[in-house]
Amino acid sequence: MMETLQFIHSNWAYLVLLVLVLATLNALIKFFGDKEFDAKDFRISLFALITMHIQLLIGFILFFTKDYFSTIKQVGGMGEVMKNSALRNLIIEHPLTMIIAVTLVTIGYSKHKKKLTSKPKFKVLAIFYSIALVLVLAKIPWSLWF
């Protein structure tokens, strides 16, 4: 079961990254191109939000079922985890950064709905989705991907 969840989490990440890049580029291109916000733009930004939330839920399940708390005890506490870059990335940095990225996408999506015209909608989406994309790219475990 855990291997299946890990497989889903690892492979769903490709879809999340693709959709987040697409939504970010869409918002940036249409913001700078002074385009009108339409139903397709709404769906793209919504799909980015949904895929990221699904990934977050799978990540939460993995985090709490892999029993990292025992790992922390075995290595000698949080001080030792923070000294070990691989463990620190796995237990602290990756989960925290991804939670922040999902939060930014959620805030951006929520704020864009309150805007009445296209330019501010795309501006909000471009800002929040771009920052989230940078965070996701920074904390993807690239060594496991290639």
Query: What value does the mean pLDDT take over residues 88-106?
Result: 94
**CA dihedral over 107, 93, 134, 53, signed as positive or negative:** negative
Find all residues with CB under 8 Å of 55, minimum gap 6, and list them: 9, 12, 13, 16, 98, 102
- Measured CA to CA, the distance from residue 76 to residue 42 in angstroms comes to 48
pLDDT for residue 66: 84
Q: Is the pLDDT of residue 17 over 90?
A: yes
Query: What value does the mean pLDDT take over residues 113-138?
Result: 95
Instruction: Write out pLDDT tens, residues 98-109.
Output: 999 999 999 999
pTM, entire model:
0.91
Which of the residue ranges 28-42, 86-100, 113-127, 132-146 would you say has the lowest mean pLDDT?
132-146
pLDDT band at 146 (very low <50, low <70, confident <90, very high): low
pLDDT for residue 100: 98
pLDDT for residue 78: 86
pLDDT band at 18 (very low <50, low <70, confident <90, very high): very high
Between the alpha carbon of residue 127 and those of residues 3, 26, 63, 78, 109, the distances in Å are 36, 12, 29, 34, 11
- Measured CA to CA, the distance from residue 24 to residue 17 in angstroms comes to 10
Find all residues with CB under 8 Å of 61, minimum gap 6, and list them: 5
**CA dihedral over 22, 28, 30, 33, signed as positive or negative:** negative
pLDDT for residue 139: 93
